[in-house]
Structure 1
């Protein structure tokens, strides 16, 4: 059962670690993110060390029989401590969190040190990758070793369940609430593993065996661990999905503003902001869709400024009457009128025909209230929708919207 479930759990842990690894550089000053990545790494290592081929390989390379036992269990104790660090930073002020995190890590290191000392006192004579616990259950030193490990494991899982439910009730984010409840469910299931291991210690004292419960123990341990890892991933996956949606929206907005940008660029090519092609750092920065979109908005804003002195009030009045007759009103009407003003203003500038001062006007959407960049982009997109999708362009602008 162990060699069937552990590879699956290892894959889950590895995928989760790779998913989190993407955000670690951007959040290197966030101890919770680092601790959470460590949870997945340590979990994966604990499963890896326990798989029979790796168990046998480590025995040969390190020259110590059953050395996978303290390695795997040490990883589990460390990840339990790291889980508490994550919850501490999520639920406490930074000063308090730092103090509590150091305490949890110190306790974890203490338990690991105790496990290593007790394992060094054991005298394992043969590799037992499948039934190590059953084989050594009658050894008093191993009983002490297993008691220390199971006590730390059980208390850690109980603290995890309690802290997850408490923090889930306080969180305002749905993904965090769901994720923490899945973590709590997984930790609760792992207590079945703890119960069997406690039973192994007690049965060993009475010269009995719980061999028939081994499959149940490994099933609880692996299924519970997988649920715990999945629960930790829920907020991260939710955030990354939101980031992907945001980037898709930025790409669509960038493409959607193309007709508006080209309309200005065809008459005022100097609105294009220069890029130092020889500077690799600047080239990388301007490949970002966020920077490209911001740049496009600024250039359109500059184009509007250049065209504004050529806006004729008669064009605006005629356009308003036309679009009102088509049933447009409100902001959509202003966007349609603004599109007509832009085309007329560009034509007037090309012909060198400024309107009389008493005929000057402003863009119809000039009074639209925008509270931030997203609102401004939405306003510009509304104007762009009323422009021809394939305006006339010079050959050197063919790839300008790519």
Structure 2
């Protein structure tokens, strides 16, 4: 059972670690993110050390029989401490979190040190990757070793389940609430593993065996661990999904603004911001879609400024009448009128004809409120949607200017 479930759990832990690793550089000053990445790394190592081929390989390379046991279980104790660090930083102030985190990490290292000492006192034997616990169940030192490990494991999982339920009730983010409840469920399931291991200690004292319960123990341990890892991943996956959606939106906005940008660039190419003098490192930054979108919006705003002196009130009035007749109103009306003003203003600048001072006007969408950066992009997109793919003068405006 162990060699069937551990590889699956190893894959889950590895994928989760790689998913979190993407955000670690950007959040290197966030102890919770670092501790959460450590949880997945340590979990993956614990499963890796326990798989029979790796167990036998470590025995040959390190020259110590069954060393995978303290290595794997030491990783488990460490990840239990790291999980508490994550919850402490999520639910407490930084100063309080730092103090509590030191206590949890200190307790974890103390337990690991105790496990290593007790393991060194065990009687050497042949490799036992499958039935290690059953084989050593009657050894007094192993009973002490298993008691220490199971006690730390059970306390860690109980604290984890309790803290996750409490923090989930306080969280305002839906993905965090769901993730923490899944973690709590996984921690509860792993208590089945604890129960069997406690039973191993008691059975050893009475010269009996719980061999028939080994499959149940590994199932509870692995299924609970997988649920815990999945629960920790839910907020991260939700954040990254939103980030991907936002980036896709940025790409769509960037290409959606192209007709509007081309309309200005065809008449006023000087709006294009030069980057030929920027060094290579900065030039790589300019290739990011967020910078490219911001740059395009700035260039369009510069283009609007260029033709602002060519906006004719008669053109605006005729455009408003035309689009009102089509049933447009509100922001749709102002965007359509602004698009007509842009085309007429570009044509007027190309011909060198400017309206009289008393005939000058503003863009129809000049009073639109844009409190956020993407609001400004949305306003420009509304105008771009009313432009033809190739810059051209609107037929009804030609009649007005004539």
Once the two structures are superposed, the pairs formed by residues 16-35 of structure 1 within 5 Å of their partners are 16-35=16-35
Once the two structures are superposed, the pairs formed by residues 146-161 of structure 1 within 5 Å of their partners are 146-161=146-161
Q: CA deviation at 1:123?
A: 1.3
Post-superposition CA distance 1:136-194 (Å, at most 9, x none)? 00000000000000000000000000000000000000000000000000000000000
Name the structure 2 match of 1:395. none
Name the structure 2 match of 1:256. 256
Name the structure 2 match of 1:118. 118
Do 2:59 and 2:65's aligned partners in 1 also have CA atoms closer than 8 Å? yes
Once the two structures are superposed, the pairs formed by residues 158-169 of structure 1 within 5 Å of their partners are 158-169=158-169
Looking at structure 2, the residues matched to 276 and 127 of structure 1 have their Cα atoms a distance apart, in angstroms, of: 65
Do 1:275 and 1:282's aligned partners in 2 also have CA atoms closer than 8 Å? no
Name the structure 1 match of 2:220. 220
Looking at structure 2, the residues matched to 381 and 288 of structure 1 have their Cα atoms a distance apart, in angstroms, of: 20
Do 1:49 and 1:55's aligned partners in 2 also have CA atoms closer than 8 Å? yes
Name the structure 2 match of 1:266. 266
Do 1:49 and 1:72's aligned partners in 2 also have CA atoms closer than 8 Å? yes
- 1:386 lines up with 2:382 in the alignment: no
Q: CA deviation at 1:317?
A: 0.4
Post-superposition CA distance 1:83-104 (Å, at most 9, x none)? 0000000000000000000100
Q: CA deviation at 1:278?
A: 6.3
Name the structure 2 match of 1:364. 364
Name the structure 1 match of 2:94. 94
Do 1:182 and 1:227's aligned partners in 2 also have CA atoms closer than 8 Å? yes
Looking at structure 2, the residues matched to 277 and 12 of structure 1 have their Cα atoms a distance apart, in angstroms, of: 47
Looking at structure 2, the residues matched to 278 and 224 of structure 1 have their Cα atoms a distance apart, in angstroms, of: 53
SS of aligned partner of 2:53: helix
Name the structure 1 match of 2:396. none
Name the structure 2 match of 1:397. none
Looking at structure 2, the residues matched to 73 and 261 of structure 1 have their Cα atoms a distance apart, in angstroms, of: 61
Looking at structure 1, the residues matched to 203 and 189 of structure 2 have their Cα atoms a distance apart, in angstroms, of: 22
Looking at structure 2, the residues matched to 373 and 202 of structure 1 have their Cα atoms a distance apart, in angstroms, of: 65
Looking at structure 2, the residues matched to 36 and 8 of structure 1 have their Cα atoms a distance apart, in angstroms, of: 20
Q: CA deviation at 1:280?
A: 1.3
Looking at structure 1, the residues matched to 277 and 49 of structure 2 have their Cα atoms a distance apart, in angstroms, of: 50
Q: CA deviation at 1:277?
A: 6.2
Give the alignment's TM-score, normalised by structure 2. 0.97
Name the structure 1 match of 2:176. 176
Q: Return 271-280 or 159-168, whichever deviates more.
A: 271-280
Once the two structures are superposed, the pairs formed by residues 238-257 of structure 1 within 5 Å of their partners are 238-257=238-257
Once the two structures are superposed, the pairs formed by residues 278-317 of structure 1 within 5 Å of their partners are 279-317=279-317
Structure 1 spans left out of the alignment, 5+ residues: 393-402
Name the structure 1 match of 2:10. 10
Q: CA deviation at 1:105?
A: 0.2
Looking at structure 1, the residues matched to 67 and 282 of structure 2 have their Cα atoms a distance apart, in angstroms, of: 51
RMSD (CA atoms): 0.8
SS of aligned partner of 1:266: helix
Name the structure 1 match of 2:60. 60
Do 1:165 and 1:181's aligned partners in 2 also have CA atoms closer than 8 Å? yes
Looking at structure 2, the residues matched to 176 and 294 of structure 1 have their Cα atoms a distance apart, in angstroms, of: 31
C-alpha distance 12-277 of structure 1, shift in aligned 2 (>3 A): farther
Do 2:343 and 2:391's aligned partners in 1 also have CA atoms closer than 8 Å? no
Do 1:164 and 1:181's aligned partners in 2 also have CA atoms closer than 8 Å? yes
Looking at structure 1, the residues matched to 268 and 278 of structure 2 have their Cα atoms a distance apart, in angstroms, of: 25
Name the structure 1 match of 2:377. 377
SS of aligned partner of 1:111: helix
Q: Return 63-72 or 115-124, whichever deviates more.
A: 115-124
Do 1:277 and 1:283's aligned partners in 2 also have CA atoms closer than 8 Å? no
Looking at structure 1, the residues matched to 112 and 390 of structure 2 have their Cα atoms a distance apart, in angstroms, of: 68
Looking at structure 1, the residues matched to 368 and 64 of structure 2 have their Cα atoms a distance apart, in angstroms, of: 75
Looking at structure 2, the residues matched to 101 and 164 of structure 1 have their Cα atoms a distance apart, in angstroms, of: 16
Do 1:276 and 1:282's aligned partners in 2 also have CA atoms closer than 8 Å? no
Name the structure 1 match of 2:399. none
Do 2:263 and 2:390's aligned partners in 1 also have CA atoms closer than 8 Å? no
Name the structure 1 match of 2:340. 340
Once the two structures are superposed, the pairs formed by residues 345-356 of structure 1 within 5 Å of their partners are 345-356=345-356
Structure 2 spans left out of the alignment, 5+ residues: 393-402
Post-superposition CA distance 1:206-234 (Å, at most 9, x none)? 00100000000000000000000000000
SS of aligned partner of 2:38: helix
Looking at structure 1, the residues matched to 370 and 17 of structure 2 have their Cα atoms a distance apart, in angstroms, of: 40
SS of aligned partner of 1:138: coil
Q: CA deviation at 1:370?
A: 1.1
Looking at structure 1, the residues matched to 370 and 123 of structure 2 have their Cα atoms a distance apart, in angstroms, of: 74
